[in-house]
Amino acid sequence: DVAVRYGIIGVGMMGREHLVNLHHLRSEGVSVVAVADPHPPSLEQTLALARSLNWPPLQVFSNHVELLNSDSCDALVVSSPNMTHYEILMDVIRHERPHHVLVEKPLCTTVADCQKVIDAAKRRTDMMIQVGLEYRYMPPVAKLIDVVNGGNLGTVKMVAIREHRFPFLVKVNNWNRFNCNSGGTLVEKCCHFFDLMKLFAGGADPLRVMASGAIDVNHRDEVYDGKVPDIIDNAYVVVEFENGVRGMLDLCMFAEGSRNEQEICVVGDAGKGEAFVPENVVRWGSRSGGRDGIVQFQCDSSSIRYQGLHHGSSFLEHVEFLGRILRGGGDPAVGLVDGLMSVAMGVAAQISIEEARFVDIREAMEE
């Protein structure tokens, strides 16, 4: 029996990734019934993938409005390019039929557009919109969140996140090579980490941001329609929160020779905890216990049926989203304000790099 009918808007790499994740939830009553994308090659690849997974024939649309008007879906996954999120979300929110929505990060590419979506969504209590900040669900990150929330580290004072990884992947029409499309690297990629900083800071609001970054290695010899990419490939970012917590991001996108892609460290007045991805390891210890008292925990990912591109976090995100739909909607696990704040910190960091100064978060909120 079909409990929830899904439509996927935007079926490039991430859209197809969502299709496979949803395939692994078919036993829970999930059915993907429709896809929409203006790019024929993406549609062709998606249909071939759906056939290989033995999905029933999908309804295919060249744009999201046609899908909305088909009246065929209960839930939508929006995984189109960043710069399209605002228009799509506004059309979904304004549509007569309510749809629960999982929208890929970033919520929108600008703070102003995020705010307009939030304002519009307040009138739709019959819809749930969850933002795809799925790094929260990576097993070692989720375990570290539990360690912090359990008081093991005392009062959090510092959060340090290192992402050392490979360059941006190639996307349809190379849209992700330009700030105007993606919002900039610190919005496109790093909204995940700003979201985690705020979470570890107890939900406190950011006050100001200082960043340094550049285009040092990647994409410098690429040209698209006569334009050279302008997305940075490395940065340091410091975020100060209103409760005194400081967060730091160390980003490098030409560090393929890394054992772990993400290393997350949270230090409180009583102890320190660390999470390592993809090693799936969490370590924590107390000041009183010292080095000899450190506990190491190998995270269990046996409940993850599909690891995918993000170490199983997308699957767990879908489990959460589906569970809330089946319980009648309500508040999402990761809401629109979470999406807005993660974008605002990224925007502030981008301004800080461009203007070589501290940026008050209120400046970013007014952008």
pLDDT single digits (tens) 266-316: 999 999 999 999 999 999 999 999 999 999 999 988 899 999 988 999 999
5: phi > 0 → left, psi -120 to 50 → alpha, else beta; which? beta
**Using one digit for the tens of pLDDT, what is the confidence trace for 64-82?**
999 999 999 999 999 999 9
Confidence of residue 366 (pLDDT cuts 50, 70, 90): confident
The answer, yes or no, to whether residue 138 has pLDDT greater than 90, is yes
Q: What is the pLDDT of residue 329?
A: 85
- What's the burial of 47, exposed, middle or buried (CB within 10 Å: 0-12/13-18/19+)? middle
The answer, yes or no, to whether residue 2 has pLDDT greater than 80, is no
What residues does each domain of the chain span? 4-133+313-334, 135-305+341-365
Q: What is the pLDDT of residue 295?
A: 96
Fold equal for 4-133+313-334 and 135-305+341-365: no
The pLDDT of 139-160, averaged and rounded, is 97
Confidence of residue 367 (pLDDT cuts 50, 70, 90): low
The answer, yes or no, to whether residue 181 has pLDDT greater than 70, is yes
The answer, yes or no, to whether residue 239 has pLDDT greater than 90, is yes
Say what the pTM is.
0.97
The answer, yes or no, to whether residue 1 has pLDDT greater than 70, is no
Q: What is the pLDDT of residue 3?
A: 86
Q: What is the pLDDT of residue 355?
A: 97
The pLDDT of 330-359, averaged and rounded, is 97
* CATH class name, domain 135-305+341-365: alpha beta
The pLDDT of 183-207, averaged and rounded, is 97
Cα 62 to Cα 42: distance, rounded to the nearest angstrom? 11
Question: What's phi and psi for 331, nearest 5 deg?
Answer: -75, 135
The pair of three-digit structure tokens given for residue 115, joined into one six-digit string: 């705010």
Confidence of residue 38 (pLDDT cuts 50, 70, 90): very high
The pair of three-digit structure tokens given for residue 287, joined into one six-digit string: 């000041």
Look at the alpha carbons of 255, 256, 257, 263 in this order and tell me if their dihedral is positive or negative.
positive
CATH 3.40.50.720 holds for 4-133+313-334: yes
Where in the chain does DSSP place strands (E)?
4-9, 30-36, 59-61, 75-78, 100-104, 129-132, 156-164, 206-214, 234-241, 246-252, 262-268, 271-277, 281-286, 295-298, 359-360
